[in-house]
Amino acid sequence: MDWREDMLASRDLNDREKQGYGFLLSWYETWRISRRLQPNLQSARQFWRQEVLAKDRKQWQLEQWAQAVRWYLQWLDICARQGWATVSLAEKVRDAVERTGARRGLALKTRQGYGSWAARFAAWAGVRKRVTNPEYARDWLGQLVSQSRVSYATQKQALNALVFLYRDVCGMEEVDLGVKLRKTPKRIPVVLDMNELMKLIEKLEPIYRLPAQLQYGAGLRVSELVNLRIKDVDTERRQLTVRAGKGDKDRVTVVPAQLVESIELNKKRARLLYEEDRRNKSPGVFLPGALMRKMPKAGERWAWFWLFPARDLSKDPDSGIIRRHCLHPAVYSRALQRAALAAGIEKRVTSHVLRHCFATHLLESGCDLRTIQELLGHGDVRTTEIYTHVAKGANGCGVRSPFDDW
């Protein structure tokens, strides 16, 4: 069942109410699906607190939207009594894409990204007949490129998601959506100076301080940081190995000498959690790719344990197994944002800013671009060259302002 069809067919609502209800409920559906929440009173209350009440609204809006939510909850109740399914078309398309992606061996983030874009397209298309018609996909992608003005990488991901939908889910042999993507200019990265960086790290909660120091000190992406295993960090040689980084590439980067002692202490704390899991006979940690089949017991070995393990066990999104996962990147990123606010840093601070700082500070100290490219794992040195635009001093290809000569 689809609430839109029932709402449009309702004789109890006038055209203005249908328009207002449709706006609010479409908003709620998009929000709910993006967070993978079920349609119920609890998610509706959460949506109301986080989205509707997040800004000042006019009284007539609140009254109309409250009526819309009540109508929707009554509709859910009727569907439940009649035994009708209430899964939306967008959710069906998303789930189909993610299931197919899992069978094809796509990475979890790739499956979720494809599923999210496919769901957005399905919500725009509205009905199954349009979803399975590439003509509508072409129109939607065209609007995404020309009107939404999203980045070139985002355009490519949306296009790839719909090609996957038609080729792998719908079984079409030839898929040519014929959309010309629009190149977007590269943005200058945000970089902190050393004083700002030290203030940020000082304001971090102790549990997140070492991860931030290591991310900056080794130039890691946040996914590379949280997925580090005990075996990946060699404090004797001061080398860190990134396994299956972006593009499924391995690389070696540096471990700061000042962090060796902290890393060893962190290993001792992680060892306590590891031994607790072994005493409780918890399943071993997640293993990537085909390693789970080749070495089914490796996840129970210390070498494969997380360098930054989560404090509690949680459900594996793929297998449903309750096991210990690594530090969640979103939890870590929110901690950085809290620290930046507390430190009074007047820049937009994300976890990736630490990686930008690593590259820029190396460039400013005289390190050559080719070495920085290898440490960062960039496939093309042109990607690394963006840091020449924010580096200071002659070594960073910067210039001295003539005002300083006065």
Catalytic residues: 221, 246, 352, 355, 378, 387
Q: In sequence order, what DSSP letters do the residues of 208-267 get, joined into one string?
A: HHHHHHHHHHHT--HHHHHT-BGGGEETTTTEEEE-S-GGG--EEEE--GGGHHHHHHHH
Residue of 269, 261, 256 whose CA lies nearest to 354? 256
Structure tokens at 82: 């009649």
For helices 89-103 and 108-125, the axis angle rounded to 10 degrees is 150
Indicate left, alpha or beta for 301 from its phi (over 0: left) and psi (-120 to 50: alpha).
Answer: beta
- Quote the DSSP letter at residue 74: H
326: three-class secondary structure by DSSP: strand
251 φ/ψ angles, rounded to the nearest 5 degrees: -155, 165
Please give the backbone phi and psi of residue 177, each rounded to the nearest 5 degrees, phi first: -80, -10
Tell me which amino acid residue 299 is: G
The Cβ of residue 336 has, within 10 Å, a number of other Cβ atoms equal to 23
